[in-house]
Amino acid sequence: MTDRPIPNLPQLQASPPLTSPPKTPRKNPWNISWPRHKKPFDLALFVLTWLSIGITVAVLLFVVGYVLINGVPYIRPSLFAREFTTQNQSLFPALMGTLMIVGLALILAVPLGVFSAIYLVEYAKRGSRFVKIVRLTTETLAGIPSIVYGLFGFIFFGVFIGWGLSLMSGAFTVSIMILPLIMRTTEESLKSVPDTYREGSFGLGAGRLRTVVRIVLPSATPGILAGVILAVGRIIGETAAIIFTLGNVARMPNHLFDTGRTLSAHMYALANEGTHPGEAHATAAVLLIVVIAINALSSRIARLCYRSS
């Protein structure tokens, strides 16, 4: 009997020891990256940064909470009556005057500010003397106090042109006030668009106008709307320039050359009289709610425009 060779059997490999699955690092809900180094200066800056953020948020919550707590209990349906009387200090005429002033001022200032910024960024020669003069002028206008704008609007639009205390005088005055803000924010938004977008559009044969309209402006829309939101907030909160140009009459304007009152002027008049503190607090609460609603609506529109672009 011959011995047959034994075939090579596969060697059994030892299985790896059972180990627990790796633990996923716990996510930081506050998205705070704690400093790993122990330098005192860096740690102090880190603490000061978050302390400043905390103080800012606390002050904002305190102001909003104080206004709402003191104003909401005094809000009642009679405050939204059409007519202002001595028995009922209705804020509805002031609310409508505020919306009219905001709408007219934006119609006047937004196209002029946006088109001026487009020319400075897309068409004018970069670093030219003309561009420097325009930017210096806008920065100077942004630093002028509102009372000076009010005096200018009263003298020029009210007396020289002859519009008097009217919606047109107030709208033109506040449009000049917000024009530097819209120009600067639009200019910075256009500069933030990468030049590769423009170069790619030019490479595909598009002209400058088509590139600006179809490529640059959609990308800069969120920043432009942010500037418009800031401008709306300044218009709503303006009092001195409005009193000098629109007036402080508690009635709804019937036409563009009629006088009226805004919410800020209405709140100032009630607080100055001292006889209706509850209505003054209610006006402040309504004014805050209007500002928050306009900001939320503008932010929503900005997100929709960004997604569509």
Pair 209, 168 in one domain: yes
Residue 35 pLDDT class (50, 70, 90 cuts): low
Q: Which of 47, 74, 101 is the last residue of a domain?
A: 74
Residues 54 and 194 in one domain: no
Q: Taking residues 118-147, what's their average pLDDT?
A: 86
Is there a domain that residue 2 lies in? no
pLDDT at 59 over 90: yes
| Element of type H or E holding 235 | helix 217-237
Residue 9 lies in a domain: no
What is the maximal distance between C-alpha atoms in the chain? 132
Q: Residue 19 domain-assigned?
A: no
Residue 155 has pLDDT above 90, yes or no: yes
231 lies in a domain?
yes
Q: Report how far Cα 283 is from the mean position of its chain's Cα atoms.
A: 22
172 pLDDT higher than 90? yes
* Residue 215 and residue 181 in one domain: yes
Q: Quick check: 21 pLDDT over 80?
A: no
Q: Within a domain: residue 125?
A: yes
Q: What is the DSSP-derived secondary structure letter of residue 78?
A: G
Write down the pLDDT at residue 74: 87
59, amino acid identity: V
CATH of the domain at 118: 1.10.3720.10
- 164 with 274, same domain: the answer is yes
Same-domain status, 54 and 106:
no
Q: Which domain holds residue 49?
A: 38-74
For 257-303, what is each residue's pLDDT tens digit? Answer: 989 889 888 888 888 877 788 888 888 898 888 888 887 887 787 77
In this predicted structure, what is the pLDDT of residue 23?
Answer: 57
For residue 182, give the 3-state DSSP assignment.
helix
Residue 14: Cβ within 10 Å count: 5
The reported pLDDT for the residue numbered 17 is: 55
Query: Quick one: average pLDDT of 61-87?
Result: 87
The pTM of this model reads 0.78
pLDDT average, residue stretch 160-185 = 92
Quote the CA–CA distance of 168 and 235 in Å, as a whole number. 14
Number of domains in the chain: 2
